[in-house]
Structure 1
Amino acid sequence: MVLDQPAAGPDPRPPVEIRELLVELSKMGKTIFFSTHILADVSEICTHIGIVEAGEMIAQGSMEEMRAQLQPHREIIVTVKDAASAESVRSLAAGLPDVISVADLEPRGGRHRVRIDFTGDDDAVAALSQRLHSANIAILGFTEETKDLETMFMRVTKGIVS
């Protein structure tokens, strides 16, 4: 089945129903090709994606493969209650082998946040978390930022049309 903009339209109900139908067809093993500018639909429906720019396929693969290609490192966000704790996180993380960089982010709601650019696997992320807790740093949040398809699309394309 080949579709062009299957979920586009002014009424919200048909696009939702079309998405549900496409997900169901996908679960049945059916192959569906569609083009869309609504990238949230793509990540919800598709198992494999391709990005075409100026008539050329510039990236393709599963969502996981695309993330690996377009986001070569992981971003860990550590939230703490004060500047002293943020400094402790920065110093501890900066000395680890899987850490590319460490940076402060804008505080939110009085809480301090530190971004750690990280190349480690899941075991290394768990070890980082454990190391911060072992240092008696009061961690309020420890999350991995994953890029959505729109961010990945903007990173790989140049805005060329033909």
Structure 2
Amino acid sequence: MIITRGLIKKYGRVMALQGLDLEVPEGSVYGFIGQNGAGKTTTLRILSGLLIPEEGSAEVAGRDVLRDPRGIREVVGYMPDFFGVYDDLRVGEYLLFYAAAYGIKGETARKLRDDLLELVELGHKRDAFVDTLSRGMQQRLCLARSLIHDPQVLLLDEPASGLDPLARVEMREILRELCRLGKTIVISSHILSELADLCTHVGMIREGRLLRQGPLSDMLAGDRVRKFILRCNGTVEAAAEIIEGWPGAGILSSAINQVEFQLSGGSDDVAALLREIVGSQVQVVHFAQTEQSLEDTFIQLAREVNGV
């Protein structure tokens, strides 16, 4: 659904994107993750036709961003991180205004307004003024605005920014419903934990370069550094000494009878280390791999890029 090749974007001397290649499958929820300033917003603005790159190409739903900007606006719904709302409009009027901007008027626009307000759970606020809405409600209203022309692709820049925990849950449920309706959704965020249970695919960007992308399950798997917890009947001193001297291993934390460590390599390396510990007469009562998180994967990849 989205393909970019060699995107380069500069702001003066600052290189925001350095040859970015993205591939977003149709119908996916693509988590575009990275630190603040990594180039996420710049990328979304290019894909929505708001910025022009110095080099490279980008297509959304078969439409070229540079050659067919009007076509891009027809297939893309863009929700920026910081948005403007017309405070002196009522919620329903706000959506009708944007519907008219897309040439949707009359009964069609009114039905669309009501359907979208129902989707984002703001039907009861149709006659309220926009400036009376909470931050979370305003976010949902702007999501409804981005859906007004029924786009194939949604580009959401930090949609949960500034929301309280309940509002974040509500936003997540709305996005799940949109996914079930067949939308392709790109969500940029630096809060990686919020994307782990929502996204089907992930792309990790750092300093304008794509570190890695693919299905979420693949990103969290593989023979990269993994974390383990080992508990003993007694102190873990002997086990900790073995782990410290093991190639590719490193202790992350330890207590009297428990040690958490990381280990690179495959299953054979894990089995060999465990045999060594048990063979040294350490009474192991628990040994398990902890779940790899998106934060862990991102930090690993960033270290590899820096040669750490």
Q: Structure 1 residue 153 and structure 2 residue 305: aligned?
A: no
For 1:96, the equivalent position in structure 2 comes to none
| Residues 1:87 and 2:238 aligned together | yes
Q: What residue in structure 2 maps to residue 143 of structure 1?
A: 288
1:100/1:116 contact within 8 Å kept:
no
Q: Give the corresponding residue for 1:111.
A: 257
* Cα distance between partner residues in 1 of 2:264 and 2:248: 7
Q: 1:104 & 1:16 partners in 2: Cα distance?
A: 35
What CA deviation, in whole Å up to 9, does each residue of 1:92-143 have, x standing for no partner?
Answer: x9xxxxx8455666542x314264626334x986898799789985433212
- Mapped to 2, the partners of 1:48 and 1:75 lie a distance apart of 22
Query: Which of residues 140, 160, 169 in structure 2 aligns to 1:7?
Result: 160
Would you say 1:20 and 2:166 are equivalent positions?
no
CA distance in 2, matches of 1:138, 1:44: 36
Q: Name the structure 1 match of 2:9.
A: none
How far has the Cα of 1:46 moved from its partner? Answer: 0.5
Q: 1:135 & 1:28 partners in 2: Cα distance?
A: 57
Task: Quote the residue 1:51 is aligned against.
Answer: 204
C-alpha contact 2:253 2:261 (8 A) present in aligned 1: no
Taking the aligned partners of 1:12 and 1:114, their CA distance within structure 2 comes to 30
- Deviation per CA, 1:68-107: give whole Å up to 9, x if none: 46x6143332110224x7636976x9xxxxx845566654
**Which amino acid counterpart does residue 224 of structure 2 have in structure 1?**
P
Residue correspondences, number: 149
Paired with 1:14 and 1:118, the residues of 2 have a C-alpha distance of 39
Counterpart Cα distance in 2 of 1:126 and 1:45: 33
1:38 aligns with 2:191: yes
CA shift, 1:55, in A, is 3.2
- Listed as ranges, the gaps of 5+ residues in structure 1 are 94-98
Which secondary structure state, in structure 1, belongs to the residue aligned with residue 205 of structure 2? Answer: strand
- Supply the AA of the counterpart residue of 1:72: R
CA distance in 2, matches of 1:102, 1:157: 19
1:22 offset after TM fit, Å? 1.5
Q: Distance in 2 between matches of 1:143 and 1:34?
A: 32
* Structure 2 alignment gaps of length 5 or more: 1-153, 304-308
Task: After superposing the two structures, state which structure 1 stretch, 129-138 or 21-30, moved more.
Answer: 129-138
RMSD, matched Cα: 3.8
Segments ≥4 residues shifted beyond 4 Å: 88-91, 99-106, 123-137
The one-letter code matched in structure 1 to 2:157 is D
Q: Is the 8 A contact 2:250 2:261 kept in 1?
A: yes
- Once residues 52 and 30 of structure 1 are traced to their aligned partners in structure 2, the CA distance between those partners, rounded to angstroms, is 23
Q: How does 1:59-98 map to 2 (within 5 A)?
A: 59-68=212-221, 72-83=224-235, 87=238
> What SS does structure 1 have at the residue aligned with 2:167?
helix
Q: State the SS of the aligned residue for 1:150.
A: helix
Distance 2:287 2:173 in 1: 33
3-state DSSP class of the match of 1:43?
Answer: coil
For the 8 Å contact 1:76–1:116, the answer to whether it is kept is yes
**Could you tell me the TM-score, scaled by structure 1's length?**
0.64
Choose 1 or 2 for highest CA Rg.
2
CA distance in 1, matches of 2:250, 2:205: 34
